[in-house]
Structure 1
């Protein structure tokens, strides 16, 4: 008979938050507990309850992670990305560090934004590269997302998941249909050097954008199905359908990636193989402020032109109703129409000739019979 763990377990969302705050992937936490990553996914989504020795070990691990998080909150530094089996960083599973209310209040807006950017931007650029297959577009989409976040910083700072907020905006910018009209999109993009990486990237770009985004969020970032559905603005059933179809399409072209865990590590390796850097946080903040000032000045100029045009129209427009001049009346300043004078002798002769001749023309000539 199984027993509940002696240490009380936090709610499912808090379990996931503690793991992410410690920069642990599901696979790493599962190896510590001695279970599979799918089991950890079930514990974090609430579909399964940890029990027995594994559950007790899981509860003790979460308790130690919570204590470590509380100790490091007062001396916050950006957390390094966890390393995978090959020693490369895991750029796909990155979330923003969470702080208590007192520590968050102690940071200035600039410091809080710089901390969020330094932690999330490098991994988010690589995620967006997997989503689009274009390096420069990935950088621009991430920078645009953080510029938008800085312009709406009070809203982003109070959001329960600021990293998810920025990620959703970056994905929307990267998958915008207006990007196809840019001249840069017409230039060929260098393919990954490895043949296996090229095959995986071609397979990802073959998927519809909604399927590709769902696959990356679930198997790459590691979100649960409800969170994936919410971020893609779809129902849970629709997100599950997109995920299954995307996995089937990938497994059809690359049978060795039929396993979800293998697919995750291949996505990690593909993203880590590209050296994609992000700009410095002050550069992004200043460029966002310059863009905001530019748009503000353009709006002020347009408003001034509109006000001037309206004022000119009101100045030159008539102030009272003027009825139209009836026919036959003389208009001041306009000379009257001159009546025709008497006909000359030649005109009188021509008029008499026209009146005496037949209206239908001369008689028709007919042949005479013999």
Structure 2
């Protein structure tokens, strides 16, 4: 990838060359130390769960704790559940939320030298009474949106949270003062940590399996990049309705891959569109890779904390048309790996499509290497080393 003038790609290479490759045994810096690895609830594997699993790869001997695990969660993974798992509250995150701080203070009577949490609600407040001298590190996916950003994706509108929200915010700050170091999954989340908790954090982007997506599917399964693609959960803030409008304005077919509560509404919108809109319900990982490789561009007009989907698409050499907000500012190089639009006007997105064919798909794929699992492992190893020695 020389000669393209991409400092981002060179930095990724430098990071990998300057740090030792992660090993699957516990790092020497933690030899002889006991480690607890804490996550919120563990559901069918999503973004935060994938980060937790990657942390387990860096610290394979750590003892894992979760509030509860869903029945369809990965089997065979050794995780200890909290007392909440034995109550009906495990079926309602909103109702369980006020009890989470207490749960994280009564998690176990065991003592650990290092406690690392993977948090998007209250896991960062975990404190073990039997481990007063422990070092506490917390990887933050986002300060709890239910509390701090209730209008971001609509979940905070639950009436059960209206009255306790102020008290829970105060508790969130007070109960996390013991945390020695934070890592944020993006600059967006780093800024929220500073704004809400008045704390600093280093940025460690989530791991993406770029090697898998960069491997082209069988030639006979590849398509001609004659369609636009939308991927993710079919819920309101993901803006799949806007994707349909963009494709309609561009007069290009659209493929929507995923599942979610908005399926019926989206199918009605698709029926009114002047272009073909097809739905891929819960595609396999292999099928998703084929869809990325076959698309002219990925549509991503949503405000995300980070956004793994654009990186997966770029690993396939597929450019991204995204909103100039949040994680897309860190993953998409405007004019080089895709285009960012500061608008919700579908015509502006459609207008950018005439430029995407001029982008170098090899360069797009190389840029995705910034967010590989190897880069994540090296960054986490460096963080843990800095904070525990």
- TM interval, shorter chain, is under 0.3
Higher relative strand content: 2
Task: Give the alignment's TM-score, normalised by structure 1.
Answer: 0.21
**Bigger Cα Rg:** 1
Task: Give the alignment's TM-score, normalised by structure 2.
Answer: 0.20
Higher relative helix content: 1
